[in-house]
Structure 1
């Protein structure tokens, strides 16, 4: 098939190269703007639902995630200080 397309493209080697790039670009655009949007509702990638306990020991309700403010849960003990920054790294040998 590709050999047939290559033989049918006009204007020698430069025309064949430009024509090949244009055909590839048109194919990608057709897939990107027509085929993929049409197929997206048919694919289950966005259908994510957690409906039951995972069964993992120690898995607390909420999954141990942070609250919407980004702060860790109050009963979670962190092994580092969240109030101060760490000292900046020093140069090697200094």
Structure 2
């Protein structure tokens, strides 16, 4: 796929490199400024999904480990 794109870009290799770099930057700018802000309220990575209080057996103990336990 990348070879197909590279062959269809105009100009010599340095022109192709500049056009490919500009295309990557344009796609990144569209993702950053349009797509990610649109998706963020729908995905909500910053909200936890685990609710409830932890049980005493799942937490760490306040006692130090015994002599044979690392």
Q: Same fold (TM over 0.5)?
A: yes
Ranges in structure 1 where 5+ consecutive residues have no aligned partner: 60-94
Q: Deviations over 1:44-89 (max 9, x none)?
A: 31223774221135x7xxxxxxxxxxxxxxxxxxxxxxxxxxxxxx
Which structure has more helix as a fraction of its residues?
2
What are structure 2's unaligned runs of at least 5 residues? 60-70
Runs of 4+ residues deviating >6 angstroms: none
Match in the other structure for 1:44: 44
Over the aligned positions, Cα root-mean-square deviation in angstroms equals 2.0
Per the normalisation by structure 2, the TM-score is 0.67
Q: How many residues align?
A: 58
Normalising by structure 1, what TM-score? 0.52
